[in-house]
Amino acid sequence: MKPPIGVVGLGIMGLAIAKNAQKAGFQVFVSNRSAVKREIAKREGLSVVNSPMEVAERAQAIIIMVTDPAAVEDVLTGRDGIFSSKNIKGKTLIQMSTIDEKSTLEFSESTNKNGMVYIDCPVAGSKKQVEEAQLILLAGGMKADLLKWDDLFKAIGKAVVHAGPVGKGSALKLCMNLIVAQMTTALCESVALAKVQDLNPEKIFEVIKQSPALNCGYFQIKEKTLLEENYSPAFSLKNMLKDVRFMDAVARQKKLPIPVTQAVKFLMEGALTEGLGDFDLTSISALLKPAGKK
Ligand code: NAP
């Protein structure tokens, strides 16, 4: 018998994780702050309960997949949060939202004080990979704690990379997203440069597909998005900007120059000001137009 698990946060990532865990035979209890996503989850056949506390009451391991550290804090310590449950001792918290290492260490400490095991477990992969249970789990924690949940990890992902102790999963996730942020900007700028030269941007993707060096899954996924200029989110601009800000903060603290990432941050902050936060991160393209053109 597989143990019951929980998922708190049913956005792009959390909903698909919950569905895949249920498909693999886990009993899954889910909750979400807003009613809209709770209704969607019900229609998808998931067992929706009223709060993170109720999820914690019923599950042996609770996955958190929300936006940022403030959201994780709410889920843990807010009204009817996980720590309000009297039935959490010995259970495992698997924190999958992308947050910084410092917050991770703070959450780990408070989780341990509440008698729970903490696994730091952000994920690599976006909408397509999560829906196909092909995530890569970037785990920080004790190997024995990870092994205990190996069946669950296999149900939602294709690999677990053990980054080190708690905190290092989150540190690794920032390194990976630095690459994604820059690849996105490179592709968007390349398409913009094609357009101002009256060159069909499809030609860029034709070359990419023939090039062993450049033909990667990420560029393939973003081809349709960019050519059709349809920026419905696979990964929202505001969530990537959150991560770029974490990178910037770590680099500043360690006195490490990361000038290209800082330029990406500037561009994404401009896009956020333009109201593009809830669109896909490739919507930065809307800003890459010749001066005077909308
Ligand atoms: P999303 O679709 O925007 O969903 C965010 C979720 O967080 C929603 O369920 C939202 O609930 C919840 N939330 C936000 N603030 C909250 C609060 N204060 N209290 C409780 N719940 C709160 O985001 P996503 O794309 O699933 O991403 C989730 C996390 O995974 C983020 O940290 C993101 O950076 C990371 N990530 C995303 C991708 C990707 O490609 N999408 C890939 C890897 C990692 P409401 O419905 O109430 O707003």
Distance 103 CA to ligand 1 centre (A): 16
From the alpha carbon of 99, which atom of ligand 1 is closest? Answer: 32
Residue among 211, 212, 237, 213 at smallest CA distance from 225? 237
State how far Cα 164 lies from the chain centre: 19
Residue nearest (by alpha carbon) to ligand 1 atom 17: 71
The length of the chain, given as a count of residues:
294
User: The pTM is what?
Assistant: 0.96
The Cα 56–Cα 8 span in angstroms is 9
116-167, pLDDT tens digit by residue? 999 999 999 999 999 999 999 999 999 999 999 999 999 999 999 999 999 9
The answer to whether residues 126 and 221 touch, using CB atoms and an 8 Å cutoff, is yes
pLDDT, position 1? 86
Residue nearest (by alpha carbon) to ligand 1 atom 7: 66
Residue nearest (by alpha carbon) to ligand 1 atom 8: 11
The answer to whether residues 114 and 87 touch, using CB atoms and an 8 Å cutoff, is no
The Cα 17–Cα 6 span in angstroms is 10
Distance 36 CA to ligand 1 centre (A): 14
* Residues contacting ligand 1 via CB (< 6 Å): 9-14, 32-34, 37, 65-67, 70-71, 74-75, 97-98, 123, 126-127, 234-236, 239
The Cα 39–Cα 48 span in angstroms is 9
Among 66, 80, 135, name the best residue to mutate to test ligand 1's pocket (greatest count of ligand atoms within 8 A of Cβ).
66
pLDDT, position 292? 80
10-62, pLDDT tens digit by residue? 999 999 999 999 999 999 999 999 999 999 999 999 999 999 999 999 999 99
The answer to whether residues 189 and 267 touch, using CB atoms and an 8 Å cutoff, is no
Element (H, E) at 155: helix 150-156
DSSP 172-190: HHHHHHHHHHHHHHHHHHH
